[in-house]
Structure 1
Amino acid sequence: MKKKVFGSSLVAVTALVLAACGGNDTNSGNGGDSEDGYSPTDVLKVQFVPSQNAENLDVIAAPLEELLSERLDIDVEVSVSTDYPSVVTAMGSKTIDVGFLPPNAYVTANEEGYADVLLQSLRYGVNEEDGSQTDELVNSYKSQFVVMADSDIESLEDLEGKTIAFQGATSSAGYVWPAASLLDAGIDPQNDVKGVEFQGHDAALIALLNGEVDAAVTFQDARNTIKEEFPDVWEQTRVVALTEDIPNDTVSVRSDLSQEWRDKIADAFIEIGEDPEGRQIIFDIYSHEGYELSEDSNFDIVRDYAERIQQP
């Protein structure tokens, strides 16, 4: 899925999200509020946006429902959303309890009082030389600019006037960090390049291979997600530049959730990541290898980056 990016920015998307969320104080109706906060009683609702093609992800998510339900002793409903602003909207309207949010979407939700960070995901590090996996679990990653191997693009400066595959404007690796890198290179990501928005980092890479765009920005190294379908992707493409470190995705909870349920959910996700079967399930969904406790201050750098890409 793709669409043209016409002057969209984090600020504009955030405004739309807030407008959609404003004034809605309805809870999801599956629990009750107390002095200690909201506690679900019938079903815990979890939502995420796929980082790869959404086809069949509903089926892949079903085992996560089962694992969470076993550990929490409550029915769990895992759903797939089309974009992160929709997840933020759902958390603001209290129709979901837990959201898998990337850093920028989390900051948007948190600053409006809709969500608190609970966990950060862990992934194996990436060898910058060849994109291979290291044996170290880390809570941050980078974004990359990928071009065809025979492209005349050798630097970020060469991207001026080119067509670039982005993700949505709240995607850290798919837009925000790359946009800041372009600005550092003297290129306005809104006006000096032709941005095309894709849903899924794999879709952006496939568009590059098909000649639809001149470059694609993805998390490092998203080429691993399509190597079975395109075994020569490493020979056909190369990385022009990497961004600075980005905090890993969050598991965030609605802001009124009780501490008791925050602890239960955190323990459940950490246990799932430590179990071989559970780790495979979360890897299939989101390329996560586990989880660790997090705190809001870890995302101050995200707020700094959001300010950097605001247009005057």
Structure 2
Amino acid sequence: GTITIWNGYHTGDNEEKTLNQLLDAAKKAFPDAKINVLEIPFDQLFNKFETEAATGGGPDMYIAPNDSLGKEARAGLLAPLDDLLKGKLDPYSKLSVQGVTVDGKIYAVPMIPKALAMYYNKSTVANPPKTTDELLALVKSGKKVGIPNSGYHTFGWWRAFGGSLMDDKGKCVADTTGVADAYKFLMDLKAAGANITDDGKLDTLYRQGQLDVYFNGPWVLGGNEDGLGKDKVGVAAMPKGPKGDAGPLTGIDGWYINANSKNKESAVNLALFFATKDAQTLYANIAGDPPARTDVAPTNANVKAFADAANAGVPRPLVPQLDNFWGPFGDAATKIFEGKSQPAFWGPFGDAATKIFEGKSQPADAIKEACAAMNKANKIDTGAVASSSSAAPAPTTAASSSSAAAGPTPTTAPAKCEKLPNMPTAKAGELGSPDKPIVITFVPSGDVPTITKAGNETAECLGKITGLSYKIEVGTSYAVSIEAMGAGKAHAGFLATFAAILAREKYGIEPAMASTRAYTSGGDSDPDKGFAGQQTDFYKGQFITKKDSGIKTLNDLKGKTFCSAGATSTSGWIIPSINLKANGINPDKDLKAVTHATGHPAVVIAVYKGDCDAGATFVDARTDATVLRTYPDVNDKVVPFFLSIRIPNDGLQFIKGFDPVLAKATTDGLLAMMADPGGKAVVRRAYSYDALKIVPATFYDEFKELLKKAGVDAATLVK
């Protein structure tokens, strides 16, 4: 059949030359296929595809970065490819696969990871700066340093100063983290003589030999090597900051398949042909593109440096909230750099960068303004709820859901991580040794870099306590983590309730520990009210409504509008939907409308404002600090009228047949961490546990039986 491809690469550039070479090979490899290629100007590519695909047209496939992947996937314009790609992406880096995954589904064959790094002139800079202090000293020594002034280009500095963009609910928190400090540092560079301006101008200056160091991506590598001379161009990672590694935003170019295509399987096979080891080697050595595959070794050291930078970067978030980032934060940066504001993302943060660098705003002021604009555009600060079709899935555990209520982790002493006595030893080649670490899989309940960092800190401390070696793998979803454990690629995992049930059913993975938290009572009608304030390994959900709504029972919900805390939320939808069905109410037919909100606090606010007649949350989301700040009378106006059954907490599981000696050492080590305030703080940066406790392998069985009686299959609830 005929396969139509849209190509947005610039006419005549090395990427197009590489693609044309591969197209010639593809025509020989697929003699029965007619391959048509249409060149689309890159600045028109996304809009043209979205317009045509929405009306049933468009190409079979196209190649592009993942800028619009989240939006196009949620709109149903792209075909999910999990079945067609099953077992075929093993040679690809984890980050590149994550970069083409939306809501747990894969939507592209990953090709090229791209992120910023540091260019330097080898003839004038023998040792490129490795830290921000060294970079500042380099500027003060008289070397010429260039800093691109856009929100995108400056994003990489944020993590180096402890900054992050959003919390796990999509709310902008840049104004309460180290983002302003990052811009203050860039302003210090400017004051010392650094040139902060448009990246295109800096490209020209570097190629003319008028810059010793500047920052840009692999897309200008060819031009830089042609202009300055290949022997003079060096590439290194962005310098580390006082709070850790820099975190440039990593985008992934990939092959996307149109949901309208009648040739999906053929298109995927062609995309995989363009992404073989040999094909990506061509891209690396001809076009200078970093490979998504881990089995490709570029001959150009600069290309390898960019691949390393991309894999160490921050994956481009594919949530809808990022649509309102660039403008405000770009403006904020300009304000800061021009001396008009102190540091504040795309809409708002593009503006912020502009305001900072032009001196129109101080960094802290610009970042605060940008965050407010971003939250307003995302309707987060007003409490308006978002449709589940445009929101990241809500977490499925109470820990994740209640993280906002827990508030920021207080400052504590460093983790002690003191070695416990009578710990086992692991010889070389044995599980638990440095060359064969125990792999623990984490699933992000929030910001991926934050979870990854916290996981690595947990593994490091756990290693010191036990004398064993651990490695953290951050899964893109619970389903991915379960499969990794089932295949023996991970030995342990922190899984949510339904994931733990499915893991035990499917692969015999056994619960070992459960989290505990101070129990919040559902009031006088709660049979467990005697546990109030005590540590329990369970929690409950609640149905809430306005005090004067007239809704007293579940039967009163017929014909009413309803808000859930997210389609995958345990206490905010899954258990409530079971309660409704048990009372003869079909949520799909008997409720007037169901809106899946972006978290539990959003449900409370929606009910308070009358946007929904009733809703479901964990007990008691009404006490969330952000809700109480804005609506101090919420507990008087919004009341619970029905409580769920006990919902067992999430926790730690081990794979079937895992060495019991290593299991005990691991659980003992985690208990020791949780007993130390510093160690607990490390774990709580990943999951908001008050404590952990040892549980039997049958911990979830009673709850599983209740689900079965209700006709619920755990496999349908795990994303």
What is the letter of the counterpart of residue 266 of structure 1?
T
Larger mean CA deviation between 121-130 and 294-303 belongs to 121-130
Aligned residue for 2:716? none
What is the letter of the counterpart of residue 189 of structure 1?
P
Q: 2-side partners of 1:96 and 1:203: how far apart? A: 35
CA deviation string 1:131-176 (max 9, x = no partner) = 999442112221112334554433222222433314445x542334
Structure 1 residue 159 corresponds to structure 2 residue 557 = yes
Quote the offset at 1:56 in angstroms: 6.6
Quote the offset at 1:79 in angstroms: 2.6
Quote the offset at 1:260 in angstroms: 2.2
The 5 A counterparts of 1:185-204 are: 185-193=583-591, 194-197=593-596, 200-202=599-601, 204=603
DSSP 3-state at the match of 2:490 = coil
Q: 1:183 aligns with which of 571, 581, 591?
A: 581
Aligned residue for 1:215? 614
Aligned residue for 2:641? 240
DSSP 3-state at the match of 1:154 = coil
Aligned residue for 1:297? 698
CA 1:183–1:274 in structure 2 vs 1: closer, same or farther (change >3 Å)? Answer: same
What is the letter of the counterpart of residue 126 of structure 1?
T
Aligned residue for 1:124? 518
Aligned residue for 1:110? 504
Q: 1:87 aligns with which of 478, 481, 485?
A: 481
Q: 2-side partners of 1:95 and 1:126: how far apart? A: 38
DSSP 3-state at the match of 2:590 = coil
The size of the alignment, in residue pairs, is 282
DSSP 3-state at the match of 1:179 = helix
The 5 A counterparts of 1:1-312 are: 41-42=436-437, 44-50=439-445, 54=447, 57-58=450-451, 59=453, 61=455, 63-72=457-466, 73-77=468-472, 79=474, 81=476, 83-129=477-523, 134-161=532-559, 162-169=561-568, 171-193=569-591, 194-197=593-596, 200-202=599-601, 204-205=603-604, 208=607, 213-224=612-623, 226-228=624-626, 230-231=628-629, 232=632, 233-310=634-711
DSSP 3-state at the match of 1:297 = coil
Quote the offset at 1:249 in angstroms: 1.6
Quote the offset at 1:203 in angstroms: 5.2
DSSP 3-state at the match of 1:145 = strand
Contact residue 518 and residue 533 of structure 2 kept, 8 A:
yes
What is the letter of the counterpart of residue 216 of structure 1?
G
CA 1:235–1:95 in structure 2 vs 1: closer, same or farther (change >3 Å)? Answer: farther
Contact residue 176 and residue 309 of structure 1 kept, 8 A:
no
Quote the offset at 1:110 in angstroms: 0.3
Aligned residue for 1:14? none
Aligned residue for 1:8? none
What is the letter of the counterpart of residue 572 of structure 2?
G
Contact residue 439 and residue 489 of structure 2 kept, 8 A:
no
CA deviation string 1:245-295 (max 9, x = no partner) = 122222112224222221122112211222222334444543311111111
Quote the offset at 1:23 in angstroms: 9.6
CA 1:110–1:182 in structure 2 vs 1: closer, same or farther (change >3 Å)? Answer: same
Q: Which structure's residues are more often helix, by fraction?
A: 2
CA 1:200–1:285 in structure 2 vs 1: closer, same or farther (change >3 Å)? Answer: farther
CA 1:85–1:153 in structure 2 vs 1: closer, same or farther (change >3 Å)? Answer: farther
What is the letter of the counterpart of residue 680 of structure 2?
R
What is the letter of the counterpart of residue 308 of structure 1?
K
What is the letter of the counterpart of residue 48 of structure 1?
V
Quote the offset at 1:208 in angstroms: 4.8
Contact residue 118 and residue 293 of structure 1 kept, 8 A:
yes
Determine which structure has greater relative contact order: mean sequence separation of CA pairs < 8 Å that are 6+ residues apart, divided by chain length: 1
* Structure 2 residue ranges without an equivalent (≥5): 1-69, 75-81, 91-429, 714-719
CA RMSD across the alignment = 4.0
What is the letter of the counterpart of residue 255 of structure 1?
K
Q: 2-side partners of 1:23 and 1:103: how far apart? A: 27
TM-score by length of 1: 0.72
CA 1:60–1:258 in structure 2 vs 1: closer, same or farther (change >3 Å)? Answer: closer
Q: 2-side partners of 1:297 and 1:273: how far apart? A: 23
CA 1:150–1:101 in structure 2 vs 1: closer, same or farther (change >3 Å)? Answer: farther
Q: 2-side partners of 1:123 and 1:291: how far apart? A: 9
Aligned residue for 2:27? none
Q: 1-side partners of 2:681 and 2:694: how far apart? A: 20
Task: Tell which structure's C-alpha radius of gyration is larger.
Answer: 2
Quote the offset at 1:47 in angstroms: 0.8
Quote the offset at 1:179 in angstroms: 2.4
Q: 2-side partners of 1:114 and 1:192: how far apart? A: 38
CA 1:87–1:229 in structure 2 vs 1: closer, same or farther (change >3 Å)? Answer: farther
Identity across matched positions, percent: 22
Quote the offset at 1:206 in angstroms: 5.4
Contact residue 272 and residue 290 of structure 1 kept, 8 A:
no
DSSP 3-state at the match of 1:182 = helix
DSSP 3-state at the match of 1:121 = strand
CA 1:206–1:93 in structure 2 vs 1: closer, same or farther (change >3 Å)? Answer: farther
Quote the offset at 1:242 in angstroms: 0.9
CA 1:290–1:305 in structure 2 vs 1: closer, same or farther (change >3 Å)? Answer: same
Contact residue 65 and residue 78 of structure 1 kept, 8 A:
no
Q: 1-side partners of 2:488 and 2:595: how far apart? A: 32
Contact residue 567 and residue 574 of structure 2 kept, 8 A:
no
Q: 1-side partners of 2:589 and 2:542: how far apart? A: 20
CA deviation string 1:221-250 (max 9, x = no partner) = 2344x3146422434532221112122222
Contact residue 174 and residue 218 of structure 1 kept, 8 A:
yes
CA 1:227–1:164 in structure 2 vs 1: closer, same or farther (change >3 Å)? Answer: same
Contact residue 156 and residue 185 of structure 1 kept, 8 A:
yes
TM-score by length of 2: 0.34
Quote the offset at 1:108 in angstroms: 1.0
Quote the offset at 1:207 in angstroms: 5.4
Quote the offset at 1:213 in angstroms: 4.2
